[in-house]
Structure 1
Amino acid sequence: MPGETWQVSTAMTMEGMAMPPQVSQVCLPKGAGAEAAPKGVPADQDCRLSDSRTVGATTTMTIVCSGPEPMTGTIESTVEGPDAYRTVMKMEMEGVPVTVTSSGRRLGQPCEAAAP
């Protein structure tokens, strides 16, 4: 399926320790807005999202993960126009607060996106 490239930057802090941002590129279906971009929910942690509320361009929700490293927290994601977004995920893992921030912007180069 025809797609276009997005650049995603993700950084994590926990207990005063900051990991440097990791930047990657992902291919999303052509024409998909910032709402379709990845928000950093751990794929391998059996996470469930609930209590989703949207006000204007900002969506907040609760996340509970019951995988090998159980964690709970909140996600706030703001769409900054059709070509950019910003997400902050605040979690607690084994009593330790963890904050993951990510942002993305559309680069627009053609790529081959996976089917939804």
Structure 2
Amino acid sequence: MIRSSNGWWIALAALSCAAAAPAWAQPKGEEWDYTLTVQMAGMQMPLPATKVCARPDEGNTPPVDKHCQIKERKVSGATTSFRIVCGPPEPGELKGRFTRKGDRVEGRYTMTQGGDTMTVVAVGTRLGACDPSRPVSLEGKK
């Protein structure tokens, strides 16, 4: 089964990448509220809403777990596609694509780890400006 420690960091990195990529020239961070649905082994499970404050410079280098690297990243118009690879202790890969439509972003990515595959469907809504130096928890509470 896919473990959650790298998975959460990968997921949040992907969301930050998707939200920031089309807007990296903006001077402040942008706060996004995401609804995530996990699809695995024929089942669907919604995850708690997640808030992310994307820094302007994350369009170039989104944050990833220290064991992970962005191997591919392509921006074409409002669509960002990417591939992130993580090494030990929990090797895995994440591939995805997000499209920003005004104050909304929609995406889908697939995480593979230890022979298991999990697909996450994400829908985000831009809430407004935020301070990227303030921490945001996985549950979206500051």
Q: Please indicate the TM-score interval, normalised by the length of the shorter structure.
A: 0.5 to 0.7
Please state whether the residue corresponding to 2:133 is helix, strand or coil.
Answer: coil
Paired with 1:47 and 1:100, the residues of 2 have a C-alpha distance of 18
**Aligned match of 2:106:** 86
- Change in CA separation of 1:111 and 1:51 when aligned onto 2, cut-off 3 Å: closer
AA matched with 2:37: A
Whose strand proportion is higher, 1 or 2?
A: 1
- RMSD (CA atoms): 3.1
Correspondence list, 1:23-102, <5 A = 23-28=49-54, 43-44=64-65, 46-81=67-102, 83-102=103-122
- Change in CA separation of 1:56 and 1:46 when aligned onto 2, cut-off 3 Å: same
**Aligned match of 1:10:** 36
What is the TM-score of this pair, normalised by structure 1?
A: 0.67
Fraction of identical pairs, as percent = 34
Distance apart, 1:101 and its partner CA: 2.0
- Change in CA separation of 1:62 and 1:4 when aligned onto 2, cut-off 3 Å: closer
Paired with 1:57 and 1:87, the residues of 2 have a C-alpha distance of 12
Whose helix proportion is higher, 1 or 2?
A: 2
The runs of 5 or more residues in structure 2 that have no matched partner are 1-27, 135-142
Paired with 2:69 and 2:121, the residues of 1 have a C-alpha distance of 19
The runs of 5 or more residues in structure 1 that have no matched partner are none
- Change in CA separation of 1:68 and 1:100 when aligned onto 2, cut-off 3 Å: farther
Paired with 2:73 and 2:131, the residues of 1 have a C-alpha distance of 31
